[in-house]
Homo-oligomer: A and B are copies of this chain.
């Protein structure tokens, strides 16, 4: 059993769907850990999981993710949640008005830590582009303005199971699950 320190139910559901495929168990715990200000998600995840594992005394993960837009020099990046709460998707689309370079990348970083051990990091990313309008009602945060490469639909227009197949978070969680399976052999 792995504990997932998060208050985000969307993230937890995505994780659970993947854990189930690997026949592994995961449980949500509502720990509020200190999130660092850093341009690197890895720093945020490491710091957060080291803090959380001290409270849980059990194998624990945290996950941090962000949308990095090339033409905006990585904005909103590690502060995607704050930007979503304040300017919203509409704000990001407005910043992208008349910009031809719409390249963007979703990144996910999982920090895994056992008591009295060093954290281990698992990463996933997906390249794509920012749409010209909000599309779809699935997913959360910036899903409905992100079109992964090779697709025409946004993450907001596909189901959770489908999104997990090639999303940043899906990739990171599969890496974690494969590693856990290896470990349990």
Contact = CB atoms under 8 A, between A and B. Distances in A.
Interface string A36-60: 1111000010010000000000000
Give the size category of A's interface with B. Answer: 20 to 34
B85 A73 contact: yes
A72 B44 CA distance: 25
Interface of A: 34-39, 44, 47, 72-79, 82-83, 85-87, 91, 94-95, 97
24 contacts: A34-B36, A34-B37, A34-B47, A35-B36, A35-B37, A36-B37, A37-B37, A37-B44, A39-B82, A72-B91, A74-B86, A75-B82, A75-B83, A75-B87, A75-B91, A76-B86, A78-B82, A79-B79, A79-B83, A87-B95, A91-B95, A94-B94, A94-B95, A94-B97
